[in-house]
Amino acid sequence: MQNNSTRYFKGSPLQTGIYAAIVAFLTYTMIFGFRKSYTVCTFDGLRFAGLNYKTILVLSQMIGYLLAKFYGIKFISELKRLGRYKIILLLVGIAWAAWLCFAIVPAPYNAVFLFINGFPLGMLWGVVFSYVEGRRSTDFIGAALAVSFIFSSGFVKSVGGWLLLEFHLSEFWVPFATGLVFALPLLLFIYLIEKIPPPDEADIAARMNRTPMNAAERKKFIRSFLPGLAACIFIYGFATIFRDIRDNFSADMWKEMGYLNQPALFSKTETPITLIVLVLIGSMVLIKNSYKALMLAHLFIAMGFALSGITTFFFVQHQLDPVWWMTAVGLGLYMVYIPFNSVFFERLIAAFRFTGNVGFLIYLADSFGYLGSVTVLLSKEIFKVKLNWVDFFSNSVMILSVVGVLITFFSAYYFAGKRRQQT
């Protein structure tokens, strides 16, 4: 993987975009295989110091992710473009080794290894996205990359559930075994992602040059857009909290709704969400004007909040089947979540002609999003709240949807005003 021009994929801009989208999607899907398969396990009956063991595990991994996101504001924004494959291999290797230790060390002491797993994995989104940002085709590529964690969340859980049921593995060995399934394919796709060529001159003219950002440049960007960025962080924080609850405790919710030992359900709900979001967000590549694309992203986000709230209302009224509800509420939440991880910040930089990189903004939003998720779970345990996950999730989403729509309209109004100041 030497840095010379002959190593890059050669093709038309369209071919290069399609190649980058497929490879980025598959690379992150393989990476996800080292992250979330344990959530298919319920660890029934295990409590330590009065705390639910699975919640301890989720919190430990999320705190690792949380700290990685705050550290990533600096690390990812300053990331150089050479040697990124070594970073991927090192970080995934640490995460996989943590699962081996998790299987060997008895509970509850093995919970610390989810923190060790979460921290390196929390850095990888920014590393992978750095391969594809700043291109005329980034909307489509970024959408494909972003929906990988919708698809992979269900796919990895299905693999983990299959290993659990077919091979009768201990719940503690499921995550390491799942990593074994994904290890060799990951090596192949790391090799292929290194062959994605850098943005060409036309890409730079349309989307600005994407360069590492030092501390002064980061502060300047925040000062320039502080109210709008604060609104975006609130929106993203809400979406992250409830996406994480749905993602981490979906097995528990399915159990509460009477669907037990059906691992195919995870893929059944997540695959259509993946396809719909990919079409919606990927179609934004057709919009050359980045300001118009930014406003359209706001519209998608508002629609996502509305879809989540309306379908949850019908579910609570027993007028919507659980499978349809889990699919629809997931689609709505991902319509909010995915734009921030693919096109929103990409188009923001291009619309307002700033030189920098998307990784900085994604990790800025992500850090506060994960802080919200950790706070919710910690509050549940500290205050001994006895939750039925379905009731808590459904009631909270209805409130979230109303607040989310209002903040989204404020964000659109703010950036529209900034645009008028420029023209």
* Listed ranges 307-311, 370-374, 383-387; the one with the highest mean pLDDT: 307-311
Beta strand 51-52 pairing with 47-48: antiparallel
pLDDT on residue 1: 42
Is residue 228 very low, low, confident or very high in pLDDT (cuts 50, 70, 90)? very high
**Residue in 127, 67, 112, 117 with CA at minimum distance from that of residue 93:** 117
User: Does domain 8-422 correspond to CATH entry 1.20.1250.20?
Assistant: yes
For residues 195, 201, 202, 207, the Cα torsion angle rounded to the nearest 10 degrees is 80
**Predicted model pTM:** 0.85
**Residues sharing a CB contact under 8 Å with residue 261, sequence separation 6 or more, in sequence order:** 161, 165
CB 113 within 8 A of CB 102: yes
pLDDT on residue 384: 67
Tokens of 18: 């399609």
Domain residue extents for the chain:
8-422
- Kindly state the average pLDDT of the residues 381-387: 69
Q: Tokens 């910040």 label which residue?
A: 345
- Kindly state the average pLDDT of the residues 263-285: 87
Whether the pLDDT of residue 111 is over 70: the answer is yes
Distances (CA, A) of 190 to 201, 272, 366: 25, 26, 24
Model pLDDT for residues 246-267, shown as the tens digit of each residue: 887 888 888 899 887 777 787 7
Whether the pLDDT of residue 362 is over 60: the answer is yes
CB 242 within 8 A of CB 392: no
**Residue in 175, 152, 241 with CA at minimum distance from that of residue 40:** 175
Q: What percent of the chain has pLDDT over 70?
A: 97
Query: Residue 403, exposed/middle/buried by CB under 10 A (0-12, 13-18, 19+)?
Result: middle
Distances (CA, A) of 84 to 137, 279, 401: 21, 29, 38
Tokens of 121: 């994995």
pLDDT on residue 422: 81
User: Which of the residue ranges 45-54, 72-81, 308-317 would you say has the lowest mean pLDDT?
Assistant: 45-54
Task: Determine how many CB atoms are found less than 10 A away from the CB of residue 136.
Answer: 19
CB 58 within 8 A of CB 251: no
Whether the pLDDT of residue 409 is over 80: the answer is yes
Whether the pLDDT of residue 373 is over 90: the answer is no
pLDDT on residue 392: 87
